[in-house]
Amino acid sequence: MVTLKEARILLKKYADAWVNRDPDAIIKIFEPYAEYWETAFARPFKGHKGIRKYWVEKVVGQEKDIKFRLLNVYVQKDNVIAEWYAEFYDMINDYHVKMKEVALFKVRKGRIYNYREYWSSKHPQSYIKRLNKEDTSLELQIQKVSINGNNYDLIYHKPLKRILDWIQSALEESGKVLPSSINQE
């Protein structure tokens, strides 16, 4: 069973390892055979060797000027849910990233043995434009939208958008219109 204080100590060590880009420090908070799921649909990084390799390639190799702010922590038995805000400079893609993340992890004897991340990040328009130049098959499009009074840049794949527009048109012709809370500017 992990306490809130122990969870906060682990998260402080995690944050320090990330901000300082220190793969040796990060593996100290994981059990030797821990699993680290960086994204929901990819395979986990396994054990100290796999976790360290990921951190060397991703954190040390791609990120700098990292800022971390813990927002919320919840604990139940050996389960921890943590939410944080982070920013960093992506050296590979040459842009500043802002992200919110939730991590779910299990703790045994003061170390993490199963860790899962779920995150969302903001990408600048210049990045999307550069992606389109580098790979013209992507056909990514940026469209200004307003949702419930808030303005956003909607990024979508043009061929998929054509299909969705065709479906919407067919529905309208048949008198069946899908309700939409998205209003184009």
Share of the chain above pLDDT 70, in %: 66
**Domain identity same for 105 and 131:** no
User: In a 3-state reduction of DSSP, which class is residue 139?
Assistant: coil
**Domain identity same for 79 and 102:** yes
d(CA 172, CA 185): 21
Query: 159 pLDDT exceeds 70?
Result: no
**Domain identity same for 31 and 110:** yes
141: domain range?
125-184
The stretch 40-47 carries a mean pLDDT of 90
H or E, element range at 110: none
How many other C-beta atoms are found inside a 10 Å radius of the C-beta of residue 87? 15
d(CA 112, CA 106): 6
Share of the chain above pLDDT 90, in %: 55
Last residue in a domain, options 122, 149, 169 = 122
As to burial, measured by CB atoms within 10 angstroms (0-12 exposed, 13-18 middle, 19+ buried), residue 81 is middle
Which residue from 18, 40, 39 is spatially nearest to 29, judged by alpha carbons?
18
Last residue in a domain, options 95, 122, 149 = 122
- Mean pLDDT in the chain? 81
**Domain identity same for 106 and 22:** yes
Alpha carbon 135 to its chain centroid, in Å, reads: 23
**Domain identity same for 137 and 74:** no
The stretch 10-16 carries a mean pLDDT of 98
**Domain identity same for 82 and 152:** no
Residues 62-105 pLDDT 10s: 999 999 999 999 999 999 999 999 999 988 877 888 888 999 99
Number of domains present in the structure of the chain: 2
d(CA 79, CA 106): 5
Query: 184 pLDDT exceeds 80?
Result: no
Residues 100-150 pLDDT 10s: 899 999 999 999 999 999 888 776 555 555 555 555 555 555 556 555 566
d(CA 153, CA 182): 12
**Domain identity same for 103 and 143:** no
Please name the amino acid found at residue 9.
I
Structure-token match 């067919």, residue found: 170
**Domain identity same for 113 and 150:** no
Query: 167 pLDDT exceeds 60?
Result: no
**Domain identity same for 96 and 156:** no
**Domain identity same for 16 and 79:** yes
**Domain identity same for 106 and 131:** no
Backbone torsions φ then ψ of 96, nearest 5 degrees: -90, 130
Q: Tell me the whole-structure pTM to 2 decimals.
A: 0.69
Distinct helix (H) and strand (E) counts, the chain: 6, 9
